[in-house]
Amino acid sequence: MEDERMIRLSKRMSKALRHQPERVGLTLDPAGWVPVADVLNALGITPEDLHDVVARNDKKRFTIDGDRIRANQGHSVEVDLGLPTAVPPDQLFHGTVAQFLDDILRDGLRPMSRHDVHLSPDRETARRVGARRGRPLILTVDAKAMHADGHEFRLSANGVWLTGHVPPEYLGTA
C-alpha cells in the first residue's frame, strides 16, 4: 500500500478504535478490544490492508491478538487497558509548544482529552510529538521523584509512558 493511503487508513482506524467507535458501528470491550472481522466490515477494508497498517504503522499504534485488535494507547473513550504499573526511567520527556507553557507550569501536565498524560522515553520522540503543533518545546519530567512520591506509571505496548497527572514541581524546561 502506498504511504499516503496507509496514513489515511491508520487515521480512520485510530478514530474507530480510540475515539468514536460508535460512528462506524463498533463497540469496544472494556479493555478496548474489538473483533478484527468487525473492523474490516465497519471500515470496508481487506485483511491485507489492516495487517499492513498494523505491521508498518510508524508508532505501532495497534495490536492484533488472535482474532481481535485494539489501539495501544491514546483513547478518549473509557477503556481499561489493564497495563501493569511499571518503574519509569529516572527522566522522561514531554513535547509541547510555547503557547501551552504558562498553563502547564501552573497546573502541571494534564491528560486533556485523553486518559493519561503521554510521556516520551527520549528527547527525539518528545520533539516529534511537540512538532505536531508547531515549534516543539521539550519539558523534562523527574519521573524518579514522581515514582518515589507514589505516582503510578504504565508503559504502553508501543513505548509510551502513561501517568495521570504531572504536577508542576516535577517539570523542567532544560
Which residues are near ligand HQG by CB under 6 A? Answer: 59, 61, 74, 96, 100, 103-104, 107, 109-110, 112-114, 118, 129, 133, 160
The CB-of-83 to ligand HQG minimum distance in angstroms stands at 15
| Closest distance of CB 109 from ligand HQG, Å | 4
Supply the minimum distance, in Å, between the C-beta of residue 166 and ligand HQG.
Answer: 8
Nearer to ligand HQG, 8 or 110 (CB): 110
Q: Which is nearer to ligand HQG, 37 or 98 (CB)?
A: 98
**Cβ atoms 167, 105 nearer than 8 A:** no
**Coil, helix or strand at residue 161:** strand
Q: Which grid cell is 120?
A: 516520551
The three grid cell numbers given for residue 9, joined into one nine-digit string = 487508513
Strands (E), 13-158: 34-35, 62-65, 68-71, 91-97, 117-119, 136-142, 154-155
Closer of 129 and 141 to ligand HQG (Cβ): 129
Identify residue 158 by its one-letter amino acid code.
N
CB of 61 to ligand HQG, least distance (A): 5
